[in-house]
Amino acid sequence: MADQIVLRHVTKKFTTKTLGDIVAVDDFNLSVSEGECFSFLGPSGCGKSTTLRMIAGFEDLTEGEIELCGRIVSSKKKNLYVPPEERGLGMVFQAFAVWPHMNVFENVAFPLRIQKMNKSDIDRRVAEALKHTSLTGLEKTFPSDLSGGQQQRIALARAIVTNPKVMLLDEPLSNLDPKLRETMRFEIKELQRRFGFTIIFVTHDQAEAMAISDRMMVCDMGRIVQIDTPENLYNKPCNRFVHNFLGESTFVNVLVKDGKVYAKGDERQALSLTAPKSAAAEMVVATRPNEIALTGPTEDGYQTHIEKRIFLTDRTEYLVPVGEQIVKVQTPHRVAFAEGEACCVRFVEPMWYPVEDAAAEKERSRRQLV
């Protein structure tokens, strides 16, 4: 598949009065293939929306260039900038962004009127877009008389009516309740299957991104941290940040001494783990709460007890002291322990990460303040 969206060394700096310079997007390089659904994911302030706005043409670049469908649309070096309406994109941005003073037909026809398309072509194209978004019959209705889901469909219909090759979706489902979000997610994928456009999807919601994406990019503090399939990002996160960001995580601070591994705060009882050769004296062992083996006290593992038992609908959660930390373990309901009962925990093939740098946490919160 050909690359349809290419970012080369794309950088965006903002200067703010209160907090100084922010590199919102720092040297982004990425290629998205034709027909791919690619998500930008990361905490607030990591640079997702700024990147999307640069692709759309609403934001200039500080450095680098952007290519869409084989054409350079933004380039600092070449002093080139194609305005948004000439980039051939479909867009659904945060909030519904439908025009309240226009009826459904006019909302959807708007991009075609800008292109000065003739009336019969407009009628045909709008009818088609409404059909694919289940809005036929509502042409004369105003958005305020429609449900949240229907309003969102108007925004989708308006985005597909120009037959774009690339669709930019920025938190398009954020105003909808969870059930409707799921339905709309399917509808977006169905539209993509039918029309074959490439999607860039920006969201805070990692489960949503995982469900919809072929590949995802996780960013942190203006940098790309990892680009991969949802499965690989979940199973092989490249660092602690990505591990923590996708799905539930359990982290245990450990000390590596004379080939043995101890939970911090308890050097009397080693964990049954072998540290990787490259391990420093202090490390973090990471796993998923449902991948920790919880067994009776006589079996192999770290001897401890159940501090707390929490019944969740589809599983049971136990809080278990390991050294000076309390570790979260999740099991099927049939693994039943009582509070105070002795038990063993064993970490099965965990990931190993260096101890987190405190400066990174500080920088993350600074970015959210700007």
Terminal Cα-to-Cα distance of the chain (whole angstroms): 39
User: Out of 132, 185, 288, 367, which residue is the one contacting ligand ATP (CB under 6 A)?
Assistant: 367
Query: Which two tokens mark 249?
Result: 């995580």
Smallest distance, Å, CB 101 to ligand ATP? Answer: 27
Smallest distance, Å, CB 49 to ligand ATP? Answer: 3
Q: Which residues of 201-233 are buried (b: 16+ CB within 10 A; e: fewer)?
A: bbbebbebbbebbebbbbbbbbebbbbbebeeb
Please say which residue, 49 or 304, places its beta carbon nearer to ligand ATP.
Answer: 49
User: Out of 10, 22, 104, 261, which residue is the one contacting ligand ATP (CB under 6 A)?
Assistant: 22
User: Out of 80, 310, 342, 370, which residue is the one contacting ligand ATP (CB under 6 A)?
Assistant: 370
Smallest distance, Å, CB 322 to ligand ATP? Answer: 34
Measured in whole angstroms, the distance separating CA 332 from the mean position of its chain's CA atoms is 28
Smallest distance, Å, CB 171 to ligand ATP? Answer: 8
Smallest distance, Å, CB 103 to ligand ATP? Answer: 31
Number of chain residues interacting with ligand ATP (CB under 6 A): 15
The secondary element (H helix, E strand) that includes residue 246 is none
User: Out of 9, 14, 214, 238, which residue is the one contacting ligand ATP (CB under 6 A)?
Assistant: 14
Smallest distance, Å, CB 225 to ligand ATP? Answer: 13
- Please tell me the distance from the alpha carbon of residue 82 to that of residue 87, in angstroms, as a whole number: 7
Mask for 309-348, x = binds ligand ATP (CB under 6 A): ----------------------------------------
- Please tell me the distance from the alpha carbon of residue 303 to that of residue 293, in angstroms, as a whole number: 12
Please say which residue, 14 or 110, places its beta carbon nearer to ligand ATP.
Answer: 14
Residue 172 as a binder of ligand ATP (CB under 6 A): the answer is no
Q: Residues for the chain: how many in total?
A: 370
Mask for 33-62, x = binds ligand ATP (CB under 6 A): ---------x-xxxxxxx------------
Mask for 177-206, x = binds ligand ATP (CB under 6 A): ---------------------------x--
Smallest distance, Å, CB 97 to ligand ATP? Answer: 15
- Please tell me the distance from the alpha carbon of residue 238 to that of residue 80, in angstroms, as a whole number: 36
Please say which residue, 44 or 136, places its beta carbon nearer to ligand ATP.
Answer: 44
User: Out of 5, 7, 10, 24, which residue is the one contacting ligand ATP (CB under 6 A)?
Assistant: 24
- Please tell me the distance from the alpha carbon of residue 53 to that of residue 313, in angstroms, as a whole number: 40
Smallest distance, Å, CB 329 to ligand ATP? Answer: 31
Smallest distance, Å, CB 108 to ligand ATP? Answer: 27
CB 159 within 8 A of CB 201: no
Q: Please provide the DSSP assignment of 55-87 as one string.
A: HHTSS--SEEEEEETTEEEEETTTTEE--GGGS
Please say which residue, 16 or 274, places its beta carbon nearer to ligand ATP.
Answer: 16
The secondary element (H helix, E strand) that includes residue 355 is none
Give the residue carrying structure tokens 């092989």. Answer: 236
Please say which residue, 93 or 262, places its beta carbon nearer to ligand ATP.
Answer: 93
Measured in whole angstroms, the distance separating CA 281 from the mean position of its chain's CA atoms is 33
Q: Which residues contact 189 (CB under 8 A, 6 or more apart)?
A: 37, 212
For 67-72, which contacts have Cβ atoms below 8 Å and span 24 or more sequence positions?
A: 67/3, 67/5, 67/6, 67/8, 68/4, 68/5, 68/166, 69/4, 69/165, 69/166, 70/2
* Binding site residues, ligand ATP, CB under 6 A: 14, 16, 22, 24, 42, 44-50, 204, 367, 370
